[in-house]
Amino acid sequence: MTYCVAIKCNDGLVFAADTRTAAGVDDVRTYNKLHVLEVPGQRVFVILSAGNLATTQYVLAYARREMNDPNATTSLRTVRHMFDAADYLGQLSVRAQKQAAEANMNVNVETTLILGGQIMGEDPAIYMIYPLGNCISASPEMPFLQIGEIKYGKPILDRFVRPQVKLEDAARCALVSLDSTMRSNISVGPPVDVAILPRDGLAISHSLRLDFDTPYYASLKDSWGRQLENAVRNLPKFDWEVQQSLPLSPHPGSNFVAGQQRQVDASSHPQQGWQAAQWSSDTDDSGRR
């Protein structure tokens, strides 16, 4: 299985993906699911993939081939808008699936893609490309897109990701989202790939591959786990917990303490203490002799 996420902030884009690919419980492999295609200084595209690996590789192979072909009528080098790039990749995906269907392959050949990037003169954008070839874009209300096993890593994104979030914070959030998914689903696994694309930079500024034993990733996992535990301990207490934590207070105008009504300070008032103890022993709970 797979988990990939793309985040759009005012300052640029963040991409993250796992690398585990499984064709069965005894056939687990590692493949890149984060791919960068660029024309330096003019445009940069990042593609995240989930689904049939053969279809994904077909799309990537043709996208790279036509991007480097000066005679290609349509390619990632020639499209004028990010939406056109998403539509182009969608058509490549549909073509690959159609060819597989004509070969009577009895397998699911669908693939879902996330395309993100920036073309010079336009704003950065991210699109989700469905197996049918159509696509949707992220919005200010939902500035991130996910594919694959999305449910485990979505809560942190819902609570934290906003357009004004800094790129580095968005990248940390993406890593926490992936870590939460890997803890709950064995089909998603390391290494984890991360790419950061600053607005108007037209180039990937930072590209990381992190494994469980990578010092930074190990530190992030440990810090996140400890802070989650502390956050739970610091949540508001229930009413009965608050009451149990209050100190016992004496009754106004009385020498008796709540819960200890029969104890008096006999050392300071010997006679009074003797009389109170004698009265207590000679009466029942109602005060009658």
Q: What is the 3-state secondary structure (H, E, C) of 118-165?
A: EECCCCCEEEEECCCCCEEECCCCCCEEEEECCCCCHHHHHHHCCCCC
Domain 3-232 = CATH 3.60.20.10:
yes
pTM of the complete model: 0.81
Res 87: pLDDT:
97
Res 25: pLDDT:
56
Query: What are the sequence ranges of the domains in the chain?
Result: 3-232
Res 283: pLDDT:
45
Mean pLDDT in order along the chain per 10 residues (289 residues): 94 96 66 94 96 94 95 95 97 94 80 97 97 95 95 95 96 96 90 97 95 94 94 93 77 49 44 43 45
Q: How far apart are CA 56 and CA 71, in angstroms?
A: 24
